[in-house]
Amino acid sequence: MSTQTQVEKRTPSEVGRTEQTWSGRYYAPNVDIAETRDELTVFADMPGVGAEDLDVRFENGELRIHGRVKPRQDEKVAYLLNEYSIGDFFRTFQISEAIDSEKISAEYRDGVLVLHLPKVERARPRKIDVKLK
Amino acid sequence: MFGNRANGFALGRLRDEVDRLFTGFAENFESAAPSRGFPLLNVWESEGSLHAEAEVPGLRMEDLEILVVGNELIIKGARDAGSDEAEGRVFHRRERGDGVFSRVVRLPIEIDAGKVSATLKDGILSIDLPKAEVAKPKRIEVRHGGK
């Protein structure tokens, strides 16, 4: 199964998304995306991923995050209550803002991946000093 | 034999659960799992314990309160995902949800509340709920009658 969702862009810096889901194994993490003057910040809920199992790529304006999740219970376990499934996290985003890809940084803490995508210098809003004469 | 009987019984009882949900989380999590609340839970059983696991990304132990009252497991807490105003930032997308949550699950068997323990790692909450002595399966020795 494959679904594609295009989200209408509301502002020039809105981050569009392409989502793909495959039956079974992959789950799209919930994200918050914030913008400041200097960067876009992506917060992705990816519980149970070890830092060494995270793969983050940025190429041609596409941000791709993948977190491998190892099974935590025996696959034969008989759940008394089974409200969520366990599998890898995967999601891609189209970033229209000009990003300085050399300076992208990532942290993973308490099950949340935080990505800092600094804007290139020319994409930052500038305050123009007006000199009074 | 004992296991099968216990599982059949447990399943019916666990469905009978009480959820209380406050602001924030409701909208986001309803789409993922209708009317279940936050956090979502997986529960399974071993010989001596029940085990509960929940995904609670962004939470630390001090954000969580875990209680066992009678045969109810209660998980309460709050998540702060940051406000729009902070640091002059604007949110373009907010899917993660925040706010106060409280979840109550009725457990199918009696738990030794004094021995309940929980760990939290990478946003995965694991709760070990040892069964009360009376709830543990007893092996009955069957002796050959007469000889």
Task: Decide if the complex's ipTM is over 0.95.
Answer: no
* B82 touching A (Cβ < 8 Å): yes
HSE toward the beta carbon, residue B117, CA cutoff 13 A: 4
Residue A19 in domain:
no
DSSP B133: G
Mean pLDDT of B21-47: 61
Residue A127 falls within a domain, yes or no? no
CB contact under 8 A, A31 and B93: yes
In terms of Cβ atoms closer than 10 Å to its own Cβ (0-12, 13-18, 19+), residue B17 is: middle
How far is Cα A114 from Cα B57, in angstroms, rounded to an integer?
Answer: 12
CA B139 to chain CA mean position, Å: 29
Report the residue of chain A nearest B98, measured CA to CA: A32
Among the partner residues A30, A32, A50, nearest to B122 by beta-carbon distance: A50
pLDDT at A121: 82
Task: Please state the pTM of the whole predicted model.
Answer: 0.72
The mean pLDDT value for A4-16 works out to 35
State pLDDT tens for residues A44-85: 999 999 878 999 999 888 999 999 998 899 888 999 999 999
B8 pLDDT more than 80: no
Q: Is A130 inside a domain boundary?
A: no
A126 in helix, strand or coil? coil
Asked if the C-beta of A2 comes within 8 angstroms of chain B's C-beta atoms, the answer is no
Q: Which one has a higher pLDDT value, A80 or B25? A: A80
Q: B136: number of CA atoms within 13 Å, CB side?
A: 11
Q: What is the pLDDT of residue A129?
A: 78
Cβ distance A32 to B60 less than 8 Å, yes or no, reads no
Q: Kindly report the nearest CA distance between residue A77 and chain B, in angstroms.
A: 7
Assess A24–B contact: CB distance below 8 Å, yes or no: no
CA A119 to chain centroid: 16
In a domain, A46, yes or no: yes
Question: Is any Cβ of chain A less than 8 angstroms from the Cβ of B27?
Answer: no
Cβ–Cβ contact B109 with A under 8 A: no
Res A127: pLDDT: 74
Chain A residue at shortest CA distance from B123: A111
Please say if the pLDDT value at position A3 is more than 70. Answer: no
Taking a C-beta distance cutoff of 8 angstroms, is the pair A108, A54 a contact? yes
**Interface residue B56 vs chain A (CB under 8 A):** yes
B25 pLDDT above the threshold of 90: no
Residue A7 lies in a domain: yes
CB atoms < 10 A from the CB of A65, how many? 24
Domain contains A133:
no
Whether A17 maps to a domain, the answer reads no
Number of structural domains in chain A: 1
* CA–CA min distance B57, chain A (Å): 5
CATH, residue A67? 2.60.40.790
Minimum distance, in Å, between the CA of residue B126 and any CA atom of chain A: 10
The overall average pLDDT reported for chain B is 76
**Predicted pLDDT of residue B36:** 59
Q: Which domain holds residue A99?
A: 3-12+24-122
Cβ separation of A47 and B60 shorter than 8 Å? Answer: no
Which whole-number Å values give the CA distances from B4 to A99, A126, B9, B13, B115, in the listed order? Answer: 57, 69, 9, 15, 25
Is residue A97 domain-resident?
yes
Q: Is the pLDDT of residue B102 over 70?
A: yes
